[in-house]
Amino acid sequence: MAGRLQLTLALLKPDVTRVPHVVQAIRNKIIQEDFIVVRHKEVRLQREKTEEFYKEHKGKFFYNRLVTFMASGPTQALILAHEDAIRRWRTLMGPTKVYKTKYEAPDTLRGLYGLTDTRNSTHGSDGEENAVNEIKFFFPEFSCDDWYKLDEEKFRRGEFLLDERNFVHKLL
């Protein structure tokens, strides 16, 4: 990778985390698309935390359904790195509206694994500012600034290996 790496938050939502072979298929796709997995963990969000994460949608018709769903089971949170990571992850996910995705982008993650507009398999940050905030929400101990100062160049040069058991790339 030649250019500066960008970080984004990726979530595997409860509808897919309940199905191990789908989680593995998504992980395989992440690696095939040359994303670097900087951090990875499974979390179970309480309703209050879910409401906080999705506060920008409060008052919208789908808010309660989304919050209830996201609090219904485990979610896998990942910090992904790549040149233009936000756009690349969003392209890999596909459009939010699953009925549209099934026809227009059937080979995307949502086209393959999404069930409804709420149970659409994945989430991704929609911009750099949101990425930083969302990463901080799920990984409060992680500093994007420190990662760029201390680790980004090493990852960009390919000085890492995949720890398959923990599904995270480790610096050499």
Distance CA 37, CA 27 (A): 10
Report the chain's terminal Cα–Cα distance, integer Å. Answer: 17
- Is 123 a catalytic site residue? yes
Q: Is 65 known as a binding-site position?
A: no
Tokens of 29: 């796709």
Q: Is 13 known as a binding-site position?
A: yes
Q: Is 96 known as a binding-site position?
A: yes
Active-site residue (options: 21, 57, 82, 123): 123
Strands 168-171 and 160-163, sheet pairing: antiparallel
Q: Is 133 known as a binding-site position?
A: no
Distance CA 113, CA 118 (A): 12
Distance CA 1, CA 130 (A): 24
Binding-site positions for ATP: 13, 62, 90, 96, 110, 120
Any idea which residues carry the catalytic annotation? 123
Annotated binding site: 13, 62, 90, 96, 110, 120
